[in-house]
Chain A
Amino acid sequence: MRFIRLADTSRKSVEAAFEEARTLGHDSVGDDDLLLGILRADEGIGAAALTSLGVTLEEAREESEGMLSDALSSIGISFEEIRRQAGDAFEMRLPPGRRLPLSPRGKKVLVDARKEVRRLGDDYLGTEHVLLGILGTQGGTAVRLLAGMGVSPEVVEERLYQFRRQAAG
């Protein structure tokens, strides 16, 4: 078995994903958080591909909150109204000191990222491999989040491979 080096870019992105999940009040780190993490760390080919398509961290966060709001309104609850009534003390951020696990989808993304490394014959695991893992998660939250921003997995993949070719010179 070949040794796969975890690139600094992807390590930072995964750390940023945990921080994003905490900020949004998620009790585990999912495929959507890993996507936000890539945007937050803003490093590597994964981040470059997303940024070049106009996907920003701020908009992705808004989209994520929009999905939460939609889910609540489907059972007749207004997230905006509750937040407005609750006032300043209300925030989704988790309290400090709570440890978050990866969600099953989050785990699958990282396992798939390793598969992508082998498939592409690379010797490092970068943000592009994590992003490919995210894009391959059928029915995942991240793919729907991107769709909400008008970006399809195919377009992101295409851009990603284009950036890889450029990086290879």
Chain B
Amino acid sequence: MDEKTRTQVGWPQDPREGLEAVVALRRMLEALEAAQVENAFVAGWSWARIAEVLGVSKQAVHKKHARRIRERYPGEPPGRKGEDA
């Protein structure tokens, strides 16, 4: 892969720019995870099922997301039918 191709596929030549892209991506990853977990929850997915697809323990996903989502959806959200739907 020559320099030109690298630039085209998104490889910044300035190392600072590249490192900052990693930080930005990490921030966006967190936001995306929160949004996708929330979508799954609203669609009626159980914590166990969400955790399985994410490849983490049910405890981990619950600890990270439950409080935020409960605050956002006091009571059962629409479309959600029981913990193991």
User: Hey, which bits of chain A sit against chain B, CB under 8 A?
Assistant: 24-27, 67-69, 71-72, 74-77, 79, 82, 86-87, 89-92, 94-97
Contact = CB atoms under 8 A, between A and B. Distances in A.
A75 B11 contact: yes
B13 to A, nearest CB: 9
A81 B77 CA distance: 27
Contacts of A92: 27-28, 31
Given A71-B20, A75-B21, A89-B35, A95 B28 contact: no
Range for the number of chain B residues in contact with chain A = 20 to 34
B4 to A, nearest CB: 15
Contacts, number: 74
Main SS class of interface, A: loop
B59 interface: no
Interface of B: 9-12, 17-18, 20-21, 23-28, 30-32, 34-36, 38-39, 64-65, 67-68, 71
